A = this chain, B = another copy of it.
Amino acid sequence: MIKEIEGGVTAAKGYKASGVICSVKPANKTKKDVALIVSDVPAACGAVFTLNKVPGAHVTVDKEQLAAGAPMRAFGGNSGNANACTGARGLADARAMCAAAAAAAGVKPAEVLCASTGVIGQFMPMDRVEAGIAAAGKALSAAGGRDAAEAIMTTDTVRKECAVTAEVAGVKVTVGGMAKGSGMIQPNMATMLSFVTTDAAIEPALLKRAVKAAADLSFNRLSVDGDTSTNDTAAVLANGLAGNKPLKSEADGGYADFLAALTFVMTRLAKMMAADGEGATKFVEIKVTGAADEAAAVKAARAIANSPLVKTALHGGDANWGRIIAAVGYSGIEFDPEKTEISFGPVPVLRKGYNIEFSEEDAARELAKKEIYVNVSLNGGAGEATFWTCDLSKEYITINGDYRS
């Protein structure tokens, strides 16, 4: 039984967090831009990172930290600068961030992961960042999850956090997380900064597999603009303070419940990212059914979600289903167009056999809503997948025409 509760990364037992202003971008004097999350006790850690061949410096450093296999205690993060394409100096800066976060949290440097998001190709202002991390250390509190979530926002317009409780092998555990999204969002293995904490007890190796499985069903089903970021990172801390018997294998009683809770939190965060995509005015859920297999369904759904023509039509409330089937047509999957059916919510717009008569009025009513549900039935197999995106508006162009300044 998964139950949603208030809060984010400090919802589970034994976590403190904070978010402060340190002016990573010199002009920023009002937005929190450094976050810190600390577990009271050593925690298992699982994380997935971008597959972009140009990883941000923190991705390289975090992988080194995790390779040691030690438990983790803290996450440090900043917005305003991605510390990507910054070479050896960038790596040194990322390591210095870990050291600063460790000092601020009162833990060892080997127990810290760091993450950065923002502009690519600029050096980190380490004086201000280190001062900010120190200040974040002083501000840590069990109510600080909200501040931390605000500190990793870039062009996000709303804070993204959520938390649930679930019963794992008879014990109540809590899973809470935060994320930032908005632009350069088509996560490949993870998403642009998501941190999740839980008090569940779970072995590190199993947690790692759980994070991968949950990310595949959540962040990897999300696209705002089809651009896979250099800095995508989703990391989970599990400190065991809930007191359940530690989960060791997929067969353990309670693992399925834990995975469901983790997937719930990550999916909720992914949907929040879609709804708050850069310039988005509508949340769009695309469900493809009847594909040959799940991989084909994901491919078709991703092609629809990434089509600028589909996204502009949804923005304009135009029931132009031809663009949807055209996107499936070039997605690379095998299917029979004549068997394909498309509906917006409950309103069919294309029926089998190219039956193209539909009610423009009913379709327009569905497309006028803030949440649009696109259903594509290929009627050719059992494969299905759900994917999340948003519409494409003029505001996206405005936001991205002059992002660096």
Could you tell me which A residues sit within 8 Å of B by CB distance? 51-55, 82, 84-87, 90, 119-123, 183-184, 186, 188, 225-230, 306-309, 312-313, 315-323, 325-330, 333-335, 337-338, 350, 353-354, 356, 392-394, 396-405
Residues of B within 8 A of A186 (CB): 330
Q: Once the chains bind, are A226 and B354 in contact (CB under 8 Å)?
A: no
Q: Once the chains bind, are A225 and B308 in contact (CB under 8 Å)?
A: yes
A317 to B225, CA, bound (A): 19
Q: Once the chains bind, are B330 and A227 in contact (CB under 8 Å)?
A: yes
Residues of B within 8 A of A188 (CB): 330
Q: Once the chains bind, are A87 and B354 in contact (CB under 8 Å)?
A: yes
A350 to chain B, nearest CB (A): 7
Contacts A397-B393, A402-B318 given; does A51 touch B183 at CB 8 Å: no
Q: Once the chains bind, are A356 and B400 in contact (CB under 8 Å)?
A: no
CB-CB nearest in chain B for A122: B356
Residues of B within 8 A of A325 (CB): 54, 85, 120-121
A48 to chain B, nearest CB (A): 15
Main SS of chain A's interface residues? loop
A399 to B316, CA, bound (A): 10
Residues of B within 8 A of A354 (CB): 85-87, 90
Residues of B within 8 A of A326 (CB): 52, 54, 84, 120, 184, 227-230
A93 to chain B, nearest CB (A): 12
CB-CB nearest in chain B for A307: B227
Contact of A318 among B227, B230, B308, B403 (CB under 8 A): B403
Q: Once the chains bind, are B308 and A53 in contact (CB under 8 Å)?
A: no
Q: Once the chains bind, are A400 and B312 in contact (CB under 8 Å)?
A: yes
Contact of A312 among B307, B401, B405 (CB under 8 A): B401
A192 to B117, CA, bound (A): 39
A319 to B398, CA, bound (A): 15
A238 to chain B, nearest CB (A): 30
A35 to chain B, nearest CB (A): 22
A17 to chain B, nearest CB (A): 29
A335 to B315, CA, bound (A): 37
A346 to chain B, nearest CB (A): 20
Residues of B within 8 A of A350 (CB): 85, 121
Q: Once the chains bind, are A230 and B402 in contact (CB under 8 Å)?
A: no
Residues of B within 8 A of A307 (CB): 225-227
Contact of A308 among B85, B86, B313, B396 (CB under 8 A): B396
Q: Once the chains bind, are B226 and A320 in contact (CB under 8 Å)?
A: no
A220 to chain B, nearest CB (A): 13
6 interchain residue pairs of minimum CB distance: A316-B401, A120-B322, A87-B354, A54-B329, A312-B400, A228-B330
Q: Once the chains bind, are A392 and B397 in contact (CB under 8 Å)?
A: yes
A226 to B304, CA, bound (A): 11
Q: Once the chains bind, are A327 and B120 in contact (CB under 8 Å)?
A: no
A312 to B186, CA, bound (A): 17
Residues of B within 8 A of A404 (CB): 318-320
Contact of A323 among B227, B328, B333, B398 (CB under 8 A): B227
CB-CB nearest in chain B for A55: B329
A86 to B354, CA, bound (A): 6
A228 to B323, CA, bound (A): 10
A405 to B313, CA, bound (A): 12
Contacts A86-B356, A326-B52 given; does A308 touch B226 at CB 8 Å: yes
Q: Once the chains bind, are B337 and A85 in contact (CB under 8 Å)?
A: yes
